[in-house]
Amino acid sequence: MCEAIGRGVKERDGLRSDIGNSTHMLMSGIDKISGKKYTTGLPAVAYGLSSERMRLWKSLLDRLIPRPSQKETREQMDQRNYEIAIEISSWSQIGG
C-alpha cells in the first residue's frame, strides 16, 4: 500500500514538473531548456509549438522585409571597402 502511494506521489510530481516545464517553454518561447530535445509528453508538445511559432515568424518576416538585390549588396560592399581603404591610408600617413 505504501509503495503504491509512493509511486502515485512520484508520478504526480513528475507530471507537475512536465507541466511546469511546458508552461515555461510556451510562455517564454524558448526552444530548448537545459539543452534537451523533448520527444514525449507535454514538453514535446510545448517544444513543437514553440519551434513552429518561431519558424512561422521567420517566414513571415522574410516575406515582409525585402532583401537587397545582389547589385545593391555588391555596391554596399564596394563602398565599405573604399571607406576601409581610406581609413588605412590615413593611418599610414599618421604613422609616418
Q: Kindly report the pTM of this predicted structure.
A: 0.37
The C-alpha cell 547589385 sits at 71
Q: Using an 8 Å Cβ cutoff, are 9 and 2 in contact?
A: no
Give the Cα separation of 89 and 17 in Å (integer). 62
pLDDT at 56: 84
pLDDT at 4: 77
pLDDT tens digits, residue range 46-82?
777 777 888 888 888 777 777 777 888 889 999 999 9
Q: Is the pLDDT of residue 39 over 70?
A: no
pLDDT at 80: 92
Q: Using an 8 Å Cβ cutoff, are 87 and 94 in contact?
A: no
Give the Cα separation of 91 and 83 in Å (integer). 12
